[in-house]
Amino acid sequence: MNNLAISVKDLHVSYYGTEAVKDVNLSVQTGNLVGIIGPNGAGKSTFLKAMLNLIPKDKGDVRIMGQTIKEVRKQIAYVPQRNDIDWDFPITVLDAVLIGTYPNLKLFHRPKKKEKEWALECLERVGMEEYSRRQIGELSGGQQQRVFLARALAQKAEMFFLDEPFVGVDAASEETIVKILKELCWQGKTVMVVHHDLSKANDYFNQLILLNKELISFGSVNEVFQTDVIERAYKGQFAFMNEMGVQS
């Protein structure tokens, strides 16, 4: 069995001629919970979107489980950054989760009882089953993020990509989300999470990608979470690194 989940070769992305992501090469084995960290504007979201073919790349080759994104699209669940989502869009919680079942529905089939039951099960897993009839716009940030995780679960994907899932989220929701992400990895899924905040990165992830336009460091949390390595990316922005658990 091939255990390679993600391989990225020579990835370059720019906006209007300015490079946002430069020369990223890495590969991730199946079953890892990978944090993508780096300061604001480091290109974390750009990296994620370019990997998933959601924005054009200048060059680079990305394989997911040895295949192109197009070939494995159904196996990929993506939860965008909160401010990339239109929360005024009139849709109930249940319908938002049901969208997750679409990739697995046959062409022209609408979700039926079976899909609805599955969507409710996913809502239960994130502790949101009582909110199924609410409009997504009425929920708190943490509740919205849990619903989007339920939608990703409903998709029964192999790979999960989340962009800043903890921003604007209460502590209890954050804990629920982290617990589920860890469970997914134990089940052999691969999870990548953009996380701009260094605090807790060592509790949450087992591997880290440290990005600042270029790949500064990639490896186990212990390898990446070293003062000199972090400083190279954050360039002295953090005077409190010791308090955050970065090893010197």
| Residue 41 binding target from Mg ion, ligand ADP, none, CB below 5 to 8 Å by type | ligand ADP
* Phi-psi category of residue 17: left, alpha or beta, with phi > 0 → left and psi -120 to 50 → alpha: left
How many Cβ atoms sit within 10 Å of the Cβ of residue 220?
A: 12
Q: What's the Cα-to-Cα distance from 171 to each of 28, 87, 176, 178, 182, rounded to whole Å?
A: 29, 21, 9, 11, 17
Please give the residue ranges that form the binding site for Mg ion (CB under 5 A). Answer: 45
Between residues 82 and 151, which has the closer beta carbon with respect to Mg ion?
A: 82
Shortest separation between residue 147's beta carbon and ligand ADP, angstroms:
22
Between residues 42 and 93, which has the closer beta carbon with respect to Mg ion?
A: 42
Between residues 41 and 66, which has the closer beta carbon with respect to Mg ion?
A: 41
Q: Does 111 bind ligand ADP (CB under 6 A)?
A: no
Q: Does 89 bind ligand ADP (CB under 6 A)?
A: no
Between residues 94 and 194, which has the closer beta carbon with respect to Mg ion?
A: 194
User: Is residue 45 classed as helix, strand or coil in its secondary structure?
Assistant: helix
Q: Does 165 bind ligand ADP (CB under 6 A)?
A: no
| Residue 100 binding target from ligand ADP, Mg ion, none, CB below 5 to 8 Å by type | none
Location of structure tokens 């990446």: 224
Token representation of residue 59: 């060059």
Between residues 48 and 180, which has the closer beta carbon with respect to ligand ADP?
A: 48
Return the residues of window 24-63 that contact ligand ADP according to CB under 6 A: 38, 40-46
Shortest separation between residue 1's beta carbon and ligand ADP, angstroms:
33
Shortest separation between residue 196's beta carbon and Mg ion, angstroms:
7
- Residue 142: what residue type? G
CA 126 to CA 228: how far, in whole Å? 38
Please list, residue by residue across 94-111, b when 16 or more beta carbons sit within 10 angstroms of its beta carbon and e when fewer do.
Answer: bbbbbebbeeeeeeeeeb
Strands 207-212 and 33-37: parallel
Number of residues that bind ligand ADP (CB under 6 A): 10
The residues near 161 (Cβ < 8 Å, ≥ 6 apart) are: 48, 51, 52, 76, 77, 78, 79, 191, 192, 193
- Residue 135: what residue type? Q
Shortest separation between residue 37's beta carbon and ligand ADP, angstroms:
9
Shortest separation between residue 206's beta carbon and ligand ADP, angstroms:
21
Between residues 45 and 155, which has the closer beta carbon with respect to Mg ion?
A: 45
Q: Which residues bind ligand ADP (CB under 6 A)?
A: 15, 20, 38, 40-46
